[in-house]
Amino acid sequence: MYLLPADHKDKSGNAFWSGPKRCPSPVVFSADDEVHMNFVYNTANLIAVNLGISPERDMSAVKALAASSQSKPYVKKNIVVETPEEAKEREAAGGPAPTHIVDQDDEAIITELLGILKISTSGLNESDMVSADFEKDDDTNFHIDFITACSNLRARNYKIKETDRNKTKMIAGKIIPAIATTTAMITGAVCTELFKFVQGFTSIGKFKNSFMNLALPSVMFSEPDDVKKIKSKDYDPILCGPVEAVPSEYTVYDKTVIREGSMTVQQLLDHMDQTKGVEVQMVTCGNVAVYNSYLPGNASRLTQKIEDIVKNLSGKDMPAGREYLVLESGGVVKESGNDYSMPPIQYYVTK
């Protein structure tokens, strides 16, 4: 809802949340709400049973624990959202993909999660784990109650009529297990392609796109397209002139890797001049403008370390477990004087 609020308009000025797109609304937890407590009670007990812990069947005790618990407040994330219609318009115009500004880095998040997992799994043996085989007719196993609470909370998100336990039990009893459906076929097809990848196959002809429709039934395989290459342009509508791709025909998966250790801005400019043949005029890191040759005050930054500038401007240290910064650059190709486009620079602070 931060990214697409209720009054969000598309580029044409039409309401984004209209027609089949139902606008959701958040549900604020309350220990006094029966549906909320049913969700907490049944979810916690399902996990307890999985871990071999005796379930807590006293709802009042669970309610007291839930009421005294404090959750972390939601922190807004800076994410660029592009609808399929907007993506088609951008691609038709030859525009670049939007730059995603990420407040947190994957390495820091992964390191934190691994630490939490190490603590939470210490002392836990495989023999302690108990699998949960779904059984709708056992009223003591929390299964139907959990499904009822989840579906009713989801219904509240989208202002849909809620249902009772008996109706949920009836619907759940009619669901065909997914092992024999399209979901299982897609999973198998994807895993087959992953097996090829981990075995070291690189030729695109070794891989396959799958088109499946069990209703017909129809199963077809085709060779996938090559990844889209970013090429030089004789005329770019945004820059109003020619743009050269450096290197020629790079893809969105490419990176310009610099592993020379800690560098000053001037050393980075010299390195790009000598190795890529470009004159860098601007360097950014996320939403931080590291250097801009058009601003007189930036001349003093030439002798400063890049990571120091980023830290001073953003007020943040480099995330734990990560030793590089992702930089974007702009400028001209020295030989031709044309503007250039280049993959993001993966600048390693250590060699």
Radius of gyration of the chain (CA): 27
Does residue 340 surpass a pLDDT of 80? yes
Q: Which residues contact 174 (CB under 8 A, 6 or more apart)?
A: none
Q: Higher pLDDT residue, 38 or 79?
A: 38
pLDDT (tens digit per residue) in 95-132:
777 665 555 567 778 888 888 888 877 777 888 888 88
Does residue 275 surpass a pLDDT of 80? yes
Asked which of 18-22, 192-196, 328-332, 344-348 is least confident by mean pLDDT, the reply is: 18-22
Asked which of 34-48, 92-106, 266-280 is least confident by mean pLDDT, the reply is: 92-106
Residue 46 confidence (pLDDT): 95
Position 333 confidence tier, pLDDT thresholds 50, 70, 90: very high
Mean pLDDT score, 202-209: 90
Residue 317 confidence (pLDDT): 85
Asked which of 76-85, 147-156, 158-167 is least confident by mean pLDDT, the reply is: 76-85
Does residue 41 surpass a pLDDT of 80? yes
Does residue 11 surpass a pLDDT of 80? no
pLDDT (tens digit per residue) in 297-310:
899 999 999 999 99
3-class secondary structure, 195: helix
Share of the chain above pLDDT 70, in %: 95
Q: Which two tokens stand for residue 300?
A: 């003093």
Residue 141 confidence (pLDDT): 93
**Structural domains present in the chain:** 34-97+129-174 (1.10.10.2660), 179-222 (no CATH), 233-348 (3.10.290.60)
pLDDT (tens digit per residue) in 126-162:
888 888 888 999 999 999 999 999 999 999 999 999 9
* Bridge-based pairing state of the strands 339-341 and 241-245: parallel
What span, in angstroms and rounded, lies between the C-alpha atoms of 134 and 193?
A: 31
> 């499946």: which residue's tokens?
212
Angle at Cα 10 formed by Cα 7 and Cα 13, nearest 5°?
Answer: 80
Does residue 284 surpass a pLDDT of 90? yes
Asked which of 193-207, 211-225, 258-272 is least confident by mean pLDDT, the reply is: 211-225
Position 216 confidence tier, pLDDT thresholds 50, 70, 90: confident
Residue 103 confidence (pLDDT): 52
Distance set, CA 156 to CA 45, 162, 259, 313 (Å): 23, 7, 51, 43
What span, in angstroms and rounded, lies between the C-alpha atoms of 89 and 92?
A: 5
What span, in angstroms and rounded, lies between the C-alpha atoms of 251 and 189?
A: 25
Mean pLDDT of the chain: 88
Q: What is the largest CA-CA distance in the chain?
A: 77
Residue 247 confidence (pLDDT): 92
Q: Higher pLDDT residue, 257 or 122?
A: 257
Residue 104 confidence (pLDDT): 54
